[in-house]
Amino acid sequence: MAEKTLSDDEVDVIYRQMIDSFIDRANELADQNSEENVGMALLFAASRFNAFVVSQHAENLEDFEKDEEKAKQFFTSQYQEMLTENLEDYKKVYQKYYKFTKLQ
């Protein structure tokens, strides 16, 4: 039986569901830990998993080392784009709903 190829829309739905599940778990952890620690744990977990992903594309150490710098540049630029986009989204939220008051 042939594998079903997912449409871009289906991939996007799955991607968003995965993101939501990570955020839900982070929010649960933030109930018992500081948001800063949860954020740093997420960042470390992402870097560790992405190192694993890079390793899976290499057949040997030489290939891994050859791809290492390109992978760092890719993931760094992706993170910077995502962070910039999310910070801009939060600016809109603050401008519309909040007066920069910290929730207690």
Which domain covers residue 36, as residue numbers? 18-97
The pLDDT value given to residue 100: 56
- Would you give per-residue pLDDT tens digits along the chain (104 residues)? 566 788 988 999 999 999 999 999 999 999 999 999 999 999 999 999 999 999 999 999 999 999 999 999 999 999 999 999 999 998 888 777 666 555 55
Residue 92 covered by a domain: yes
CA distance 67 to 70: 5
Which CATH number is 88's domain given?
1.10.287
Domain count, the chain: 1
For 35-71, give one letter per residue: b (16+ CB within 10 A) or e.
eeebeeeeeeeeeeebeeebeeeeeeeeebeeeeeeb
Residue 10 covered by a domain: no
